[in-house]
């Protein structure tokens, strides 16, 4: 730093350093993605472009590729503003339709009128734009899966993660750890954790 530097010069130099750091991190990310691709034998559907450069249809395709599960049903997040409770329930064509939906007296799982909505491009587009929060059902009808989402809570979450024999991607969140295990082939559920 030169004694003649103005505050603007200092800020511009710091911005340049940050931009260089971002470029190094992007290169590192690209190397890591290529290594993951080589390890699994499958190309990941990720371009070396910022996410905003993907078309909406490309984003839907990437979502479908990563969260490959049942497409005949999906879960929709709900929140009760009065009680503060929230959760996920299967998205139903008849939800809250008068004289058809019996909520809250009858649970969705017991409802004779339930008609699950498929996980189609419209539902995914609404999820990606923030209009709704979608939950995938990774366990297929033949009891195989392409990915798992595991939620480790409590004091033993670290030990619990190490008990799983698959490669896991960990992402922290308040109150525990959420773990995603991505596989690029159809896998029986019992192979993930034994």
108 domain-assigned? yes
Sign of the CA dihedral running 118, 119, 125, 128: positive
- Distance, in Å, from the CA atom of 120 to the CA atom of 131, rounded to the nearest integer, reads 15
CA pair distance 51, 8, nearest whole angstrom? 31
> pTM surpassing 0.75?
no
Domain assignment of residue 19, yes or no: no
Is residue 183 one of the residues assigned to a domain? no
Q: Provide the sign of the torsion angle of the four alpha carbons 185, 189, 191, 193, taken in this order.
A: positive
109 within domain boundaries:
yes
Distance CA 95, CA 137 (A): 19
Minimal CA–CA distance to 108: which of 120, 96, 125? 96
- Domain with 84, as residue range(s), is 72-137
Whether residue 14 is contained in a domain is answered as: no
Q: What is the rounded distance in angstroms from the CA atom of residue 76 to the CA atom of residue 93?
A: 12
Query: Does the residue 190 lie in any domain?
Result: no
Radius of gyration over every alpha carbon of the chain, rounded to an integer in angstroms: 22
Which strands sit side by side in the sheet containing 75-79, from one edge to the other? 86-90, 75-79, 134-135
The Cα–Cα gap between 50 and 60 comes to 15
- Answer whether residue 101 is part of any domain: yes
Number of domains in the chain: 1
Query: What distance in Å separates the CA atoms of residue 111 and residue 75, rounded to the nearest whole number?
Result: 16
How crowded is residue 29: how many other Cβ atoms within 10 Å of its Cβ?
12
**Per-residue CA distances from 51 to 36, 44, 96, 111, 148 (Å):** 19, 14, 36, 40, 24
pLDDT, averaged in runs of 10, over the chain (194 residues): 79 87 77 57 47 81 87 92 90 92 87 93 94 90 79 77 57 48 53 51
Q: What is the crossing angle of helices 121-128 and 56-66, to 10°?
A: 100
Residue 88 counted as domain residue = yes
pLDDT computed for residue 38 by the predictor: 47
């Amino acid at each position: 730093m030169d004694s003649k530097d103005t505050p603007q010069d200092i800020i511009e130099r710091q911005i340049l350093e940050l931009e260089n750091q971002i470029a190094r991190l992007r290169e590192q990310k690209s190397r890591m993605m290529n290594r993951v691709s080589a390890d699994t034998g499958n190309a990941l559907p990720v371009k070396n472009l910022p996410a905003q450069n993907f078309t909406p249809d490309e984003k839907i395709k990437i979502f479908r590729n990563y969260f490959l599960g049942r497409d005949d049903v999906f879960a929709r997040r709900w929140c009760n503003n009065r009680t503060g409770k929230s959760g996920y329930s299967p998205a139903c064509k008849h939800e809250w339709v008068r004289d058809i939906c019996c909520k809250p007296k009858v649970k969705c799982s017991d409802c004779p009128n339930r008609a699950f909505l498929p996980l189609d491009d419209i539902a995914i587009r609404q999820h990606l734009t923030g209009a709704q929060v979608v939950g995938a059902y990774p366990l297929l009808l033949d009891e195989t899966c392409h990915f798992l989402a595991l939620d480790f809570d409590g004091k033993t979450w670290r030990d619990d993660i190490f008990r799983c024999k698959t490669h896991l991607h960990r992402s922290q969140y308040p109150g525990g750890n959420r773990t995603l295990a991505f596989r690029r082939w159809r896998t029986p559920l019992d192979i993930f954790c034994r």
